[in-house]
Structure 1
């Protein structure tokens, strides 16, 4: 997000063409996440339903990141003509970005489903909030690394440019994080499915996804529409905010003579943009840590206790909790805050003001990182539990067990004919019976398919955002092709103070969409 847009611009793509490259994100999300969600739901791997896909996907991402960092060198091994090598580098870079986007969606789909699979309803918000916190930590780490001159620290050990070193760090970090999760989480193993043999062709999988998308329960559909409008606003912010901050800085504050002396303009813009997103991520992290204590979780009637906050902030939070809003209200406020902030984007004429606007968005981004998934986790589990309650003697659809819960015989499973997920936390360790006072465990049967549908509503607006960006960039900044000499290294940036900043216009349009999302979120309260 920090370096790829200026990297493609520096290679020779115009902003309008670069915006079309980012169709890779929504395209991969639209296809891969729902498809992997359904396939993983049916997986009978002894390693669990999600873990094999997470591990395989992370290694593919790492491999593609290495290719992305060394595209010029790889092309140079096979093509000697400078013009052909330039075109080949652009082509390989775009292919690598598409490959990264497609493979990272495999990891993302399984990570989110793992939370829904593992946690009971009252802990869905807590689990989603912790996922948001870890994302914030990862973003903060990445943006801090991106804002410093890593070449002066590591030398040529990880590559001779900032961009190369960032791809190496990102690849190793992802593989390491997935390894920790895969080792730590005790995932359940699928025993049986509705279709008996657990196999379904691609047509059946896509048919199920299509049918589910158009037959959503009312509350899940309302959540999806709120997500749809919100992401029309978030898409340009996430992909172009660093480039926008960098351009604002070099357009209004840096003399042209100083820019001419720069030897790595991509690194300069990336570091300036990363610094703003470092502040953004810091606020996101703090918000993701503190706000869950100040917001009522959904379905509070099921909770038996209030999570204890850290002692240092307990007194302050005790006063706040008396007036704490519910999650729906918090989500609504966050969307209004994002809209109110990005409306001022076209007025930013300094790095400080642009950084301030980006930083404020850390609060709504923290809430957006867990609110829709918490709502979906609750609704998914209510759906399956409600169906089981209504039809106690019918097939529930799947049978799953953990490796630690194999003591129940297969005969008992057949006799009971129920969905066995056997959360260890919901069983009494002495009597080996389910504790009636414990929280009802989640089923996770529909986690992959419904989170895949939510992802469809997250990716479709990215197509809309891409088209909006393409139109705006084509009109306001068609952009000349960069010259080949080093004296025109900044030609890929819009440094004309008299011309409007196209990225700022896209952010403004996103703010308007966020207001529509706020209205959709408000209506969620009245849908049963």
Structure 2
């Protein structure tokens, strides 16, 4: 018979309450999102300032989807088989965060590093651009290592009933990290820190992002204890990276109809979100300096890159605030995908019950909320070419916080429901040994639901992760349910497919941006000093290329809305 995987230990999280444990488990995402926010805010204007055209800059951002498409599945395979005594995920998280920190520092000081080795100004400029692009690729590839393991750690540690709660907490932590990043980015950090950690805003933000990522990962790594893999299953030991890719491809080609529909809605939605996430800061900054700032005022600035970053970050502070509030409040205003409840829910007093019933009758379901969010995003970004003031551009960006909150929650909730149906539905029975004597008990999904009623809060966190060699009590239903094999493999492969449908549209978005920038803004003037504005398009009589990309993204969001509408009729 094939040998099954053998484990040592039980995963656990420090903390006395479930909220504390959830926060500590997902805290690494605060630093992760802070770093992503710093890159998306400053790297586009930084490359433009160095003399790269917008069309070439758009090609640089292939690094994001390329790294996600390659690194996340690859590091997933490697980490799945890791037998480190520290666990499968945390060593990669810690090592990856230090690599990201090093690459961020190199990115901030590219000009100084090149100047140390090259004295010719023209060669130094070209080498600086090359080193900056290389550093961005290094940051994207290494940060995907951290991101893949942070997300996998949530799946590994939490039980199946708490996976959706873990995803919700992950979304909140991402919103917090994003908000903190944009708040700091909107402040003149040079006037606060002086030149201790850099003489420009961009340098200081890279240092702060590096420290925040290391600190956040350290908190999660300390608070979470992983189980240790002693030996992999025979099938896992024989399967290589090529076999994993083949399996992912086959699964993608043979998706169940509803999962296929969810993935297509995600595909079209992300064609719209890609230009917004990477170019909105630069767009707000250009809009401000194009229409509201006199040319003589701009020449007084000694750090134009920092000025653009601060203006754009201020608008994204409002965006992130709305995103965070929406991620907290909207789940209470939207019906969950499956409204059935197996556990007893106390009936509230009659007056409150009538009020809650009236609210429930008008609450949209999650599919309707997702559709509305995509229509809202499209209706907002359609007006991007008409934005001629920072206030209007900021308003458009801020409104997108609501659909962004739903977009980060809805597809994963739908996927979780469908994966659970595939795993537990149809009367599927799980067979497992319940004692050292090898006795076998058949446990159906119905008996699982019945047994879960007596589980304590801590037991829920440890469900499906008991040591295979530990003793269990055959008469204890909770002990029996704790031995059910984890469905991590099934969830992993379908979430991997969803990641593919999230990554591929970024290539499409990059190609669209490259075409638009090549037509509307084919050239750029290299910066001779930090106050030069030649890298920005300040001609009021010409269309703003970024605004056109946002408009095209709005059209794609309308297609996503139609795909979401059809989801209701897919069985």
Shorter-normalised TM-score: what interval? 0.7 to 0.9
**Residues in 1 aligned to 2:159 and 2:361: alpha-carbon distance in whole angstroms:** 25
Look up the SS of the partner of 1:160 in the other structure: coil
Look up the SS of the partner of 2:106 in the other structure: helix
1:203-218 alignment to 2 at 5 Å?
203-218=242-257
**Match for residue 451 of structure 1 among 472, 490, 495:** 495
Residue 459 of structure 1: CA displacement?
1.0
* Contact map agreement 1:79 1:85 (CA 8 A) in 2: yes
1:262-341 alignment to 2 at 5 Å?
262-302=301-341, 304=343, 320-341=359-380
1:58-77 alignment to 2 at 5 Å?
58-77=97-116
1:178-257 alignment to 2 at 5 Å?
178-190=217-229, 193-196=232-235, 198=237, 200-257=239-296
Closer/same/farther in 2, CA of residues 32 and 436 from structure 1, 3 Å limit: same
**Residues in 1 aligned to 2:152 and 2:383: alpha-carbon distance in whole angstroms:** 37
Please report the TM-score for the alignment, with normalisation by the length of structure 2. 0.81
* Contact map agreement 1:234 1:510 (CA 8 A) in 2: yes
Residue 202 of structure 1: CA displacement?
2.4
CA deviation profile, 1:92-120 (whole Å, cap 9, x unmatched): 11011111111111222222233334444
Closer/same/farther in 2, CA of residues 109 and 524 from structure 1, 3 Å limit: farther
CA deviation profile, 1:311-334 (whole Å, cap 9, x unmatched): xxx999886445322222211111
**Match for residue 383 of structure 1 among 419, 422, 429:** 422
| Residue matched to 2:533 | 490
Residue 253 of structure 1: CA displacement?
0.4
**Match for residue 501 of structure 1 among 509, 526, 544:** 544
**Residues in 2 aligned to 1:127 and 1:272: alpha-carbon distance in whole angstroms:** 34
**Residues in 2 aligned to 1:288 and 1:344: alpha-carbon distance in whole angstroms:** 25
Look up the SS of the partner of 2:41 in the other structure: coil
**Residues in 2 aligned to 1:497 and 1:143: alpha-carbon distance in whole angstroms:** 28
| Residue matched to 2:206 | 167
**Residues in 2 aligned to 1:100 and 1:417: alpha-carbon distance in whole angstroms:** 49
Aligned length: 507
Closer/same/farther in 2, CA of residues 297 and 198 from structure 1, 3 Å limit: farther
* Contact map agreement 1:249 1:351 (CA 8 A) in 2: yes
Residue 413 of structure 1: CA displacement?
7.4
**Residues in 1 aligned to 2:190 and 2:86: alpha-carbon distance in whole angstroms:** 40
Residue 221 of structure 1: CA displacement?
1.8
Give structure 2 stretches of 5+ with no counterpart.
1-39, 347-352, 449-454, 467-471
* Contact map agreement 1:482 1:492 (CA 8 A) in 2: yes
Deviates more, 1:296-305 or 1:18-27: 296-305
**Residues in 2 aligned to 1:337 and 1:196: alpha-carbon distance in whole angstroms:** 47
* Contact map agreement 1:117 1:443 (CA 8 A) in 2: no
Please report the TM-score for the alignment, with normalisation by the length of structure 1. 0.87
Closer/same/farther in 2, CA of residues 69 and 189 from structure 1, 3 Å limit: same
* Contact map agreement 1:54 1:178 (CA 8 A) in 2: yes
Closer/same/farther in 2, CA of residues 316 and 260 from structure 1, 3 Å limit: farther
**Residues in 2 aligned to 1:441 and 1:289: alpha-carbon distance in whole angstroms:** 32
Residue 455 of structure 1: CA displacement?
1.2
1:79-118 alignment to 2 at 5 Å?
79-118=118-157
Give structure 1 stretches of 5+ with no counterpart.
308-313, 400-407
* Contact map agreement 1:225 1:520 (CA 8 A) in 2: yes
* Contact map agreement 2:335 2:364 (CA 8 A) in 1: yes
Residue 412 of structure 1: CA displacement?
6.1
